[in-house]
Amino acid sequence: MAAAVARDVGCLPTGQQLIGVTYMKVSRRGFIKSTVVAAGAVAAPHVWLPVSSEAWGATLKKGEPIKVGLLFSLTGSLAVPEEDSTLVMQYAIDEINKAGGIAGSPIQPVIVDAKSDFAVYSEKAKELILRDKVIAIFGCYTSASRKAILPTVMANNHLLYYPTCYEGAECTQNTICTGPLANQHSKDLIPFMVQNFGKKVFFVGSNYVWPKESNKNAKVWLQQAGGELLGEEYIPLGSSEFGPVLNKIREAKPSFIFSTVVGASDIAFHKQFKQEGFKVDSMPIASLTTGEIETRAMGNEFGAGHFLSAPYFQALDNPTNKKFVENFLASKYGKNGVTHYNMEETYTSAYVFKYGLEAAAAKLGIENVTPRAIRDNSGGIKVGADVSPEGPIWIDEQNFNCWLVPKIGQCQADGSFKIVKQAAEHVAPDPYSIYPNLGTCTKDGLKAPDGKIRKNVI
């Protein structure tokens, strides 16, 4: 088994070990207090490295380790969801390596702490590609961090696996996404909540691109469902002060709250909701982000009764998921005690990578595989029900997002989620579902109605 490579994670005093990586252990209380830089900022890297495919390009050789970058936050306000992404990726890599690796080669993760800082994401993405010569990067949780690294990924014709939900309105030729788009979660969640709780809605989100763009989609679904938007508020990413927002909600008296609050703020929001005397049975929160890990961090009593839309829940009743949950939680990676949608989407991305690389190697030979070749051979790749805990999923042959089955769960008193609605069949990913006039995302770029194609639209 190839050893993990730890880079730039710091020599920090608490000394928590993560497969040879020393990093600061962030307590759930400390997590709530931590903050990040302004979400809209995408700063230039602190270091400059020359672009040269001969000097820096990733090369693969049969039997030698295949290096991949794990670019998630292990410290800061994004550590709770992103630490688990790092852990489950290591679990998946171990699993793949024990089964023989990929084309006879083991996977070797290069683990980096992005520190919940968008400038660090950008800097470390460049180093992973140009210095460490990884063949692909798995990383990011927020769209702001994704957009911070995409210019580097595209400039080097590299490959990013983005394993979580996002807003769409993006069409690049260097990404593969395994989480849901807006048409695969809020499109079902909004009418479900209107039908069951009432038409009046209040939107609350973190102040960056994903919540704002997601809410543009949600407004379309709300109008179609005959609902009424009473208010829309955004708070700084990492903020834990919701008093003014909750006062506005109290005055507006919505039927339910639609939340796109993330990270530490999400936990603080749910806790203050209950502490301020709001009742979940008369005004529940419907979220796109509050899963098992957030509920565990805030305390089950603060999550109980609220709703989440996601393709995966730990409670899914199928043999593959039961095996995944049992084996992961029993492993050295399962220390946080739950599985959740973001982890599972990260886990399946490891197998999408495996199958895509195998397809490219079979066609080109392992020595000729490039990051772009893996992407170009991943359209239509399927992760079957014997591997994917959420059930079979596959990568769209044109836009390289995921076909999946949307689900809505309600949090129970023990922190688990009961599935209250599930789509009858797989739903195709549509990055431009509310922007049909802009065109269609194809494997070659965004194809406008007039037939013109624009590459790498972000």
- Convert the pLDDT of each residue in 382-421 to its tens digit: 999 999 999 999 999 999 999 999 999 999 999 999 999 9
Separation of CA 72 from chain center: 10
Whether 431 contacts 441, CB under 8 Å: yes
- Of the pLDDT bands very low, low, confident and very high (cuts 50, 70, 90), residue 10 is very low
**pTM of the full structure:** 0.88
Distance, in Å, from the CA atom of 177 to the CA atom of 183, rounded to the nearest integer, reads 14
- pLDDT at 42 (0 to 100): 34
**CATH topology agreement for domains 5-180+341-402 and 183-315+407-431:** yes
Residue 271 backbone dihedrals phi, psi, to 5 degrees: -65, -45
Instruction: Give buried/exposed letters for 318-354 (b at 16+ CB in 10 A, else e).
Output: eebbeebbeebeeeebbebebbbbbbbbbbbbbbbbb
Distance, in Å, from the CA atom of 421 to the CA atom of 423, rounded to the nearest integer, reads 7
Task: Provide the 3-class DSSP secondary structure of residue 412.
Answer: coil
Residue 105 DSSP label: B
Residue 44 has pLDDT above 70, yes or no: no
How far lies 54's CA from each of 31, 65, 426, in Å? 42, 19, 43
CATH of 183-315+407-431, one of 3.40.50.300, 3.40.50.1400, 3.40.50.2300, 3.40.50.720: 3.40.50.2300
Whether 373 contacts 360, CB under 8 Å: yes
Output 441-446 pairs: Cβ under 8 A, ≥24 positions apart: 441/170, 441/171, 441/398, 441/399, 442/171, 442/398, 442/399, 443/173, 443/376, 443/379, 443/397, 443/398, 443/399, 443/400, 444/173, 445/171, 445/173, 446/171
Residue 239 DSSP label: -
Residue 276 has pLDDT above 60, yes or no: yes
Residue 2 has pLDDT above 70, yes or no: no
Separation of CA 86 from chain center: 12
Residue 52 has pLDDT above 50, yes or no: no
CATH for the stretch 5-180+341-402: 3.40.50.2300
Q: Which of these, 152, 161, 142, lies nearest to 122 by C-alpha position?
A: 152
Whether 70 contacts 139, CB under 8 Å: yes
Residue 87 has pLDDT above 50, yes or no: yes
- pLDDT per position as a tens digit, 166-182: 999 999 999 999 999 99
Domain ranges in the chain are 5-180+341-402, 183-315+407-431
- pLDDT per position as a tens digit, 237-258: 889 999 999 999 999 999 999 9
